[in-house]
Amino acid sequence: MSTTLVIVGKSLKINKPFLDYIDSQISLHVKTPKQKIFLDKNESNLFETLETTIKQSEQTIIVASDDSFNLIGKIISTLSEDVLELKQNTLTPSKSKEYGNNSYLLEYQGKEVNILRAKENEELPQIFFTCKDNSTIFSLIGLDEDSTKILLEPLAETYEIKLCSTSIVQGWSFIEASTYKYGNLEKFLKSVKSLFPDKFIENGDVLTHIIKSLKNANKTVSIAESCTGGGIAAMLTSKSGSSEIFNGSIVSYSNTIKKAWLGVSDDTFKNYGAVSELCIREMLEGILKRSSADFALASSGIAGPSGGSQSKPVGTVFIGARSINGEVLVERVLLQGDREYIQKQSCFHALRLLMHVGKDVFFR
């Protein structure tokens, strides 16, 4: 079921950390919203816009700022020819199907609408929508998006499955599979796993998959980062359970720290530079020695917008992964986008290489 997310209140629109939190909480209850709309409470056509949006959506979540919440309640009550009543300290339409503190669910012309009051620096109220089981998200590691489509589409037709794929980074496809009326999602996923046993990750949350896989295998990982500035470590530690598999990281931004803490040699800096395969190999070796981890990741590159050269333009990044048994993968990638996007892509490339060198751990 497609969902529209409506954000009402300028204060919410400009607060990116809080918006990210809202998105993460909503994703626990519904699939990625089909569209996200930002509205201000002072817009002259607010009433008409909300009415049109609700009518055109299968279900709608309206997240209103503290100073917009009661106004939205009045508009919704007018649309549904209802009145507001005080329930659990919240002005709530009397015909609401479910309600709680600062949140309620109602039906308007056969469409469900969940309205929430969002207060910055506070926990988001209860979301009454729940995920439907007619779709799921999975990953294929080591296949480009075009190959993924060619190989999966005949299988999807067999089981009446709709596919939507995207490339997280080159070599990592992210696929949403949803059923037609008589589709069989379970059999489709089993067939995909059988076809790609060393590439398929059924858990849509790959970070959680990595953590659980390492935990089950009693393995740990450490990281030596330069251009990603601790981003890989931040991604892992954002998930519960990471303390059991993550030993630590060194953000070796300067060459001095790369040499002193990780053992990168002067000859490497002189002859190849910090942005090089040899530097990554020595960073991997250094972090493994210092942390006693089973796996290591490393990154070094030029995220921009300055610092590039003809031989190493902005977006040139070396990333690597190594296992304690000596298996090493180092790649040079040329990435595009702004500084933040280049750093984020570098993090995902590093995680991709981790799953390659630890394929026996991550693809059981």
Q: Which of 83, 31, 75 is nearest to 54 (CA)?
A: 75
The Cα 60–Cα 85 span in angstroms is 22
180 and 194 assigned to the same domain = yes
Q: Which of 280, 299, 357 is nearest to 325 (CA)?
A: 357
Domain boundary among 171, 204, 237: 204
pLDDT at 145: 81
Treating both helix axes as pointing N-terminal to C-terminal, what angle do 46-56 and 69-79 enclose, rounded to 10 degrees? Answer: 60
Q: Is residue 127 part of a domain?
A: no
Q: Which residues 6+ apart lie within 8 Å of 234 measured at CB? A: none
Q: Which of 69, 60, 43, 63 is nearest to 108 (CA)?
A: 60
The phi-psi region of residue 240 (left if phi > 0; otherwise alpha if psi is between -120 and 50; otherwise beta) is: beta
Treating both helix axes as pointing N-terminal to C-terminal, what angle do 339-357 and 206-216 enclose, rounded to 10 degrees? Answer: 30
Determine how many CB atoms are found less than 10 A away from the CB of residue 284. 25
Q: Which of 256, 276, 275 is nearest to 266 (CA)?
A: 256
Q: Is 123 helix (H, G, I), strand (E, B) or coil?
A: coil
The Cα 146–Cα 142 span in angstroms is 12
pLDDT at 131: 67
98 and 182 assigned to the same domain = no
The Cα 140–Cα 206 span in angstroms is 10
Q: Is residue 98 part of a domain?
A: yes
Domain boundary among 204, 231, 249: 204
Peptide bond preceding 305: is omega within 30 degrees of 0, i.e. cis? Answer: yes
Domain boundary among 147, 171, 204: 204
180 and 247 assigned to the same domain = no
- Encoding tokens for residue 308? 């590039």
pLDDT lower than 50: segments of the chain: none
Q: Is residue 218 part of a domain?
A: yes
Distance between alpha carbon 166 and the CA centroid of its chain, in Å?
A: 13
Q: Which domain holds residue 302?
A: 207-362
Whether this prediction's pTM lies above 0.95 is answered by no
Sign of CA dihedral 83, 87, 92, 98: negative
Sign of CA dihedral 73, 74, 76, 81: positive
164 and 214 assigned to the same domain = no
pLDDT at 256: 98
CB 140 within 8 A of CB 171: no
- Encoding tokens for residue 339? 């500084």
314 and 300 assigned to the same domain = yes
